Structure 1
């Protein structure tokens, strides 16, 4: 069957269309996305502006039309931290439902972490052993650890690249004092939960998902996306530590000229790199492997698990 997963994230609204069947690998058929940066559209009271809601409704409608055009049988919609934590979340969800007909479930941070972990486990398989999965989104950082498809430990922290950029790094080229303050904040937040994971043992394999990790790996020399999904891509802590001060000293335009960095994400890359560096350091990770699958694929896989086998 043809499924469409509609991800209302903190940075983008992304419709991923796949051809999927129980027991088979989902095959991507179409991708439709619009950059909204909802995490950066919150006002001083933490609410999404009227203009932001209008734009969200329009983009969701466009995605639903694209799903119809591509013959999607079922749309699996969900929203993440930007909507979840908005002061006017109920108003936002009501507007989307009224004007598009779609009821938009809001995932908890724990659900995000667990579904992302499921996607990574299915991608790497049982031979990867105990997995530590790190995912940096626009609004939050998700962490999962375990041996099975359900992680033994999962956490979600408000350390998304978009959220932190807005709150801590104003201006185009961040002030070194602001970068240092954000570094302290990020490390203090992550350090609080490291012990919850450490009691479950040492990971056999550490995985990074999300656009932030993919961009950082590409900057550090990993293969291009055009080289295909199955090329192994990794990011070392050493290379990341070398790049963090370089990125902090650049303007957004200069970062956008780096390999693999999109113009829309360039402004968030310093905050994302600080989170990645802190997580790898505090969890004792020297190298992680980039996983092509993440939350959207986890949602699809969970849905397939509940379909009857033909």
Structure 2
């Protein structure tokens, strides 16, 4: 394989990301550019599952800027993927056609299983010493779960709830009632208990991906260390600490959360709902700790590319 520049656009339910990587023939790569913008593409989809005008406009404006950067960096290949919001949208085809016409970007809509598979490849490559556990990738409109033993995935599952749609459905954005959290938690726990592998992975660690989970790590490091770590990858945290930070921010209103150290202001309205998937998974699994991974679906795509071109 010749060395090349690859751009990866990851259009999620809550944010859009662009990374540009320098790929080498020895299966190594260096990141040369990275940007993330909150687009809230899934905002207001509701039970009708229709992408709304304003979120689509925001998203297309961001994608136009990304295309300019891709041209600026003289990229050899662009891989554009999109996940839960577009995957479930009834107006998916019309939206993607408009994106092609206005930006020139052709998106591949990942299935939930494909998204989970790339998550697994990314984590396996970046955390080779973690041989057993359950990966949880929390997005805006879905979560992906991958239980693995001895470094091998046992299942690759996607469930249709995430930070944005949980917040909208259970009214978890501003002044939050405990009964709303309890109702959402009961539904999430039942979804987990219905999965075949749950009983086989009791007391295993949970490996965390996704923006909400990264926010958790950033809040904890600011609170307990007083400064930011240069890299959150591989950071381990006892589950009791996860619950403490959740209980602390669940008492706050949105305005207070907007000024919380380590939390992006734009996530203040979805951080409670964004942490419910991990909170309830650790409870169902009786997990002792969580481990943070900075490597996920985008890195998994690169690993897959290397495998295909060997």
Determine if the TM-score, normalized by the shorter chain, exceeds 0.5.
Answer: yes
TM-score (normalised: structure 2): 0.90
Task: Confirm or deny: 8 A CA contact 1:5 1:300 kept in the other structure.
Answer: no
Residues 224, 102 of structure 1: alpha-carbon distance in 2 compared, 3 angstrom cutoff: farther
Q: Which residue of 2 aligns with 1:181?
A: 183
Question: Hey, what does 1:240 align to over in structure 2?
Answer: 242
Partner of 1:283: 285
Query: Structure 2 CA distance, aligned partners of 1:51 and 1:155?
Result: 31
TM-score of the superposed pair, with normalisation by structure 1: 0.90
Residue of structure 2 in register with 1:301 after alignment = 303
By how many angstroms is 1:226 displaced? Answer: 5.2
Q: Deviations over 1:4-52 (max 9, x none)?
A: 1001101111111111224433321111222111121425622112333
- CA offsets, 1:186-227, max 9 Å, x none? 21222211x33444x568654111222222123233768953
Q: Give the stretch that moved more between structures: 20-29 or 107-116.
A: 20-29
Match of 2:145 among 122, 126, 143: 143
Partners of 2:11 and 2:103 lie apart in 1 by: 14
Contact 1:132-1:203 at 8 Å conserved across structures:
no
1:287 Cα deviation after fit: 0.3
| Structural RMSD (CA) | 2.3
Conserved 8 A contact 2:8-2:78: yes
Change over 3 Å in CA distance of 1:244–1:131 after alignment to 2: closer
Tell me: CA distance 1:25–1:198, structure 2 relative to 1, closer, same or farther (3 Å).
farther
Question: What residue number does 1:93 align with?
Answer: 96
Distance 1:172 1:117, change over 3 A: same
SS of the equivalent of 2:108 reads coil
* TM superposition outliers: structure 1 runs of 4+ over 6 Å: 222-225
Equivalent of residue 6 in structure 1, options 2, 9, 13: 9
Is 2:102 the partner of 1:106?
Answer: no
Q: Do structure 1's residue 123 and structure 2's residue 130 form an aligned pair?
A: no
1:87/1:239 CA distance change after superposition, 3 Å: same
Q: Deviations over 1:42-66 (max 9, x none)?
A: 2562211233323322221211111
CA contact (8 A) 2:192 2:198 kept: no
Deviation for aligned residue 1:93:
1.2
* Unpaired segments ≥5 residues, structure 2: none
Separation of aligned partners in 2, 1:305 and 1:249? 47
Point out where structure 1 has 5 or more consecutive residues left out of the alignment: none
Q: Deviations over 1:117-139 (max 9, x none)?
A: 110000011x3222421111111
1:76 aligns with 2:83: no
Rounded to whole Å, the distance in 1 between the matches of 2:206 and 2:298 is: 20
